[in-house]
């Protein structure tokens, strides 16, 4: 059943035009959280070291490449000589819940990758079966039940939703983005290979090639989970022939925008380090978006700048607009406003140092490059999640619209709760979920919604909501456990639902985005019997220590010391008063023995010398 309205947050920007909209549909299959296997934290908790590890390091010959010391090293390094490193690297290649579909099995059985017993179909099938058996033995503990990987299962009286995998959700990526004038678009969805595809639909396709400095490295330029590309040493470059479309389509309008979702690796890069550049080297360019420490730099060739795009427009030093975090950055140019820079939907207020000029002198022999200059000596380090080139200057409303749409592979997960007593049928709690990086998921904006617009919720109490993964509640990232609210007719909107929280949270990835199964649990929901968390047990209050004994011995204070010395020497205190006044603050002010300091001793000695001197000088 399709929801009658579009999600407001994704449709609100429709006034800016040119956008996509997301239609919600119910999950096709409703299932309870299954008994799911998940990897324990360390290899020592499993039989990995006696099953899979010996195979990949021995007969399997994976050690020839999948180790960092190999001359032909290839990541992941699951044949590492360090067992925990190998275990961490291979987890994403093993499907505990369906061993035959494990990537390390498929590579042998179906793709005939470096089979060790022979190159025939039968030999590779046998090698794949051997790897599958090793995985199954690891799951069973290889004869040691204490190391068996045991399934997690949710049971009553826990109140829980139906379960979903990420791919069971409604694809929400790029929701309501403004893309009417895009001429080159890189969403980095491929996730493998050496080509970043131009998905703008504007011919010719300006595809980019991943070009690491070290051809054997898998980290210099690498794909990032959840759509993205990481650049450490190298570049991602297009050819000059296809790059020509940028010059042709931008000079035809006389305006353009560079848009990116970017994560700078640090705030120390200079040069400017090239994030996105359409150029031929360090001295010739059509445009460049770069980084100088905390600043974004916008260089552009025009009739009022030189062939290197200078003077450049930079964000103000004091504002520190560039941060080593995920940011939405847009640079625009048009003949009226000149160059502008926007960060996270906001104009930085930095003014172009020159008049706008025109773009008639742009060179059509330059190439589009990400992460470096074409000459290779202006390295930028960081992650790009999206890059788009528009041949119009985006308006403030369009930039805000694209910022609000977000970035990456996102899904709306609709967790069914319609079978819980006191909750209307067809009810869901919807999350926006994405694979945040190669190690975690981002959950945000939980919303109660019913896909039947004629149904109102009444009053549904909800308390202590938790996110579950693979049969158990996630050990960290439980940002919604403090929820104690009610879903009511007054707060509910039939088209957009009722938002339960505006905060987001990150939980760890376990078996991979294709295999991890999510669900929700509650302490209270509807009229179902409450399921309070276990009692923490009695609070043990430590004994209060007895007060320390106070010494019967003490010291004289400053006035007492002065009076004592006057009595012992027979010298009037008035005679040495000038000296005493100087030393008074250095003499003891407390009778406690433990407060006596070496400075007190020095002051007493100086005062004693003054009294003795007065006594000697007294001829009487």
- Reported as half-sphere exposure (CB side, CA atoms, 13 A), residue 600 has a value of 17
Q: Identify whether residues 250 and 364 lie together within a single domain.
A: yes
pLDDT of residue 31: 86
535 inside domain: no
Q: Give the residues across from 211 on adjacent strands.
A: 235
pLDDT of residue 532: 67
Q: Identify whether residues 205 and 338 lie together within a single domain.
A: yes
Tokens of 71: 């001359």
Q: Identify whether residues 187 and 142 lie together within a single domain.
A: no
The model's confidence at residue 14, banded by pLDDT at 50, 70 and 90, is very low
Lowest pLDDT segment from 220-234, 395-409, 544-558:
544-558
pLDDT of residue 495: 87
Q: Identify whether residues 457 and 417 lie together within a single domain.
A: yes
Per-residue model confidence as pLDDT tens digits over 132-151: 999 999 999 999 999 999 88
> Is the pLDDT reported for residue 60 higher than 80?
no
Q: Is the whole model's pTM more than 0.75, yes or no? A: no
Per-residue model confidence as pLDDT tens digits over 245-281: 999 999 999 999 999 999 999 999 998 999 999 999 9
The arithmetic mean of pLDDT across residues 521-532, rounded, is 85
What's the structural domain count of the chain?
4
Q: How far apart are CA 565 and CA 573, in angstroms?
A: 8
Lowest pLDDT segment from 182-196, 530-544, 560-574:
530-544
Q: pLDDT averaged over the chain? A: 87
Q: Identify whether residues 315 and 327 lie together within a single domain.
A: yes
pLDDT of residue 8: 38
The more confident residue out of 599 and 208 is: 208
Q: How far apart are CA 434 and CA 224, in angstroms?
A: 13
Which residue range forms the structural domain that includes residue 563?
A: 558-617
> Is the pLDDT reported for residue 217 higher than 50?
yes
pLDDT of residue 208: 96
The full DSSP string for 77-91 is -TT-SSHHHHHHHHG
Contact 200, 245 (CB under 8 A): no
Q: Identify whether residues 566 and 592 lie together within a single domain.
A: yes
Residue 174: other Cβ atoms inside 10 A:
21
Q: Map 381-426 to HEC letters.
A: CEEEEEEEEECCCCCHHHHHHHHHHCCCCEEEEEEECCCCCCCCCC
Strand segments (E) across 498-552 = 498-499, 504-508, 517-525
The more confident residue out of 257 and 14 is: 257
Question: Alpha helix (H) ranges present in 466-557?
Answer: none
Phi-psi region of 52 (alpha: psi -120 to 50; beta: other; left: phi over 0): alpha
Q: How far apart are CA 585 and CA 223, in angstroms?
A: 69
Q: How far apart are CA 443 and CA 23, in angstroms?
A: 19
Contact 283, 308 (CB under 8 A): yes
Residues in Cβ contact with 376 at an 8 Å cutoff, skipping those fewer than 6 apart: 213, 235
The arithmetic mean of pLDDT across residues 9-38, rounded, is 66
419 inside domain: yes
The arithmetic mean of pLDDT across residues 15-43, rounded, is 75
Q: Identify whether residues 140 and 277 lie together within a single domain.
A: no
pLDDT of residue 585: 76
Domain end (from 525, 547, 572): 525
Percent of the chain residues past pLDDT 90, beyond the cut: 53
Contact 389, 183 (CB under 8 A): yes
214 inside domain: yes
Give the helix/strand (H/E) hosting 130.
helix 121-140
Q: How far apart are CA 477 and CA 348, in angstroms?
A: 33
pLDDT of residue 146: 92
Contact 209, 236 (CB under 8 A): yes
250 inside domain: yes
Q: Identify whether residues 383 and 436 lie together within a single domain.
A: no
The arithmetic mean of pLDDT across residues 109-124, rounded, is 88
Q: How far apart are CA 296 and CA 314, in angstroms?
A: 6
- Report cis status (omega within 30 of 0) of the bond before 157: yes
The model's confidence at residue 539, banded by pLDDT at 50, 70 and 90, is low
Tokens of 414: 């609709």
Q: Identify whether residues 289 and 387 lie together within a single domain.
A: yes
Domain end (from 351, 373, 405): 405
Per-residue model confidence as pLDDT tens digits over 312-339: 999 999 999 999 888 999 999 999 999 9
The arithmetic mean of pLDDT across residues 284-310, rounded, is 95
Domain end (from 351, 382, 405): 405
pLDDT of residue 4: 33
Q: How far apart are CA 421 and CA 2, in angstroms?
A: 24
pLDDT of residue 540: 65
CB-count burial class (<10 Å; 0-12, 13-18, 19+) for 238: buried
Q: Identify whether residues 369 and 253 lie together within a single domain.
A: yes
pLDDT of residue 12: 39
400 inside domain: yes
The model's confidence at residue 22, banded by pLDDT at 50, 70 and 90, is low
Q: Identify whether residues 355 and 264 lie together within a single domain.
A: yes
29 inside domain: no
Top-ranked range on mean pLDDT: pick from 62-76, 347-361, 578-592? 347-361
Q: Determine the 3-state secondary structure of 345 from DSSP.
A: coil
Task: CATH number of the domain at 389, please.
Answer: 2.60.120.200
126 inside domain: yes
Top-ranked range on mean pLDDT: pick from 387-401, 556-570, 596-610? 387-401
> Is the pLDDT reported for residue 9 higher than 50?
no
360 inside domain: yes
Q: Identify whether residues 217 and 338 lie together within a single domain.
A: yes
């Amino acid at each position: 059943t399709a929801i009658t309205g579009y999600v407001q947050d994704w449709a609100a920007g429709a006034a800016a035009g040119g956008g996509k909209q997301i239609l919600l549909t119910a999950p096709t299959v409703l299932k309870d959280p299954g008994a799911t296997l998940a990897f324990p934290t360390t290899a020592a908790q499993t039989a990995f070291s006696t099953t899979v590890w010996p195979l990949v390091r021995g007969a399997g010959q994976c050690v020839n490449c999948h180790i960092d010391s190999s001359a032909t090293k290839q990541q992941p390094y699951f044949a590492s000589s360090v067992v925990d490193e190998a275990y961490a690297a291979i987890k994403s290649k093993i499907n505990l819940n369906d061993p035959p579909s494990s990537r390390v099995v498929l590579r042998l059985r179906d793709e005939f990758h470096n089979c060790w017993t022979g190159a025939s179909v039968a030999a590779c099938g046998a090698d794949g079966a051997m790897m599958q058996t090793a995985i199954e033995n690891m799951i069973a503990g290889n004869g040691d039940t204490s190391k068996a990987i045991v399934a997690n299962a949710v049971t009553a009286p826990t109140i829980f939703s139906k379960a979903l995998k990420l791919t069971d959700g409604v694809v929400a990526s790029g929701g309501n983005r403004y893309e009417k004038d895009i001429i080159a678009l890189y969403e980095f969805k491929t996730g493998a290979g050496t080509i970043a595809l131009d998905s703008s639909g504007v011919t010719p396709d300006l595809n980019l090639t991943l070009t690491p400095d070290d051809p054997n490295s898998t980290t210099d330029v690498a794909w990032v989970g959840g759509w993205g590309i990481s650049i450490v040493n190298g570049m991602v470059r297009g050819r000059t022939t296809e790059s020509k479309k940028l010059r042709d389509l931008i000079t035809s309008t006389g305006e353009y925008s560079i848009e990116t979702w970017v994560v700078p690796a640090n705030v120390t890069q200079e040069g400017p380090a090239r994030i996105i550049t359409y150029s031929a080297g360090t001295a010739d360019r059509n445009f460049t978006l770069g980084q100088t420490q905390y600043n974004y730099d916008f260089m552009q060739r025009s009739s009022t700048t030189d062939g290197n795009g200078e003077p450049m427009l930079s964000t103000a030093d004091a504002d520190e607009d560039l941060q080593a975090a995920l940011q939405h950055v847009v640079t625009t140019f048009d003949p009226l406003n000149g160059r502008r820079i926007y960060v996270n939907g906001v104009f930085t207020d930095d003014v172009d140092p020159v008049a706008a000029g025109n773009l008639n002198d742009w060179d059509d022999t330059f190439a589009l490059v990400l992460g470096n200059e074409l000459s290779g000596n202006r390295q930028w380090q960081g992650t790009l999640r999206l890059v788009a080139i528009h041949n119009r200057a985006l308006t403030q409303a369009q930039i805000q619209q694209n910022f609000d749409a977000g970035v990456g592979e996102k899904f709306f997960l609709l967790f069914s709760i319609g079978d819980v007593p006191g909750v209307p049928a067809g009810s869901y709690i919807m999350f926006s979920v994405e694979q945040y990086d190669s190690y975690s998921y981002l959950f945000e904006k939980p919303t109660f919604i019913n896909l039947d617009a004629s149904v109102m919720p009444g009053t549904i109490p909800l308390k202590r909501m938790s996110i579950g993964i693979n049969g158990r509640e996630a050990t960290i990232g439980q940002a919604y456990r403090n929820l104690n609210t009610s879903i009511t007719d007054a707060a509910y909107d039939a088209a957009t639902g009722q938002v339960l929280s505006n905060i987001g949270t990150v939980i760890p990835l376990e078996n991979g985005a294709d295999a991890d199964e999510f669900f929700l649990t509650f302490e209270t929901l509807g009229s179902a019997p409450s399921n309070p968390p276990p009692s923490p047990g009695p609070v043990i209050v430590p004994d209060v220590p007895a007060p320390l004994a106070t010494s019967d011995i003490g010291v004289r204070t400053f006035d007492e010391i002065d009076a004592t010395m006057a009595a012992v020497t027979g010298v009037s205190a008035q005679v040495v008063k000038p000296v005493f006044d100087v030393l008074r603050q250095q003499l003891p002010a407390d009778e406690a023995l433990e407060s006596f300091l070496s400075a007190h001793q020095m002051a007493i000695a100086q005062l004693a010398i003054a009294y003795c001197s007065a006594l000697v000088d007294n001829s009487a």
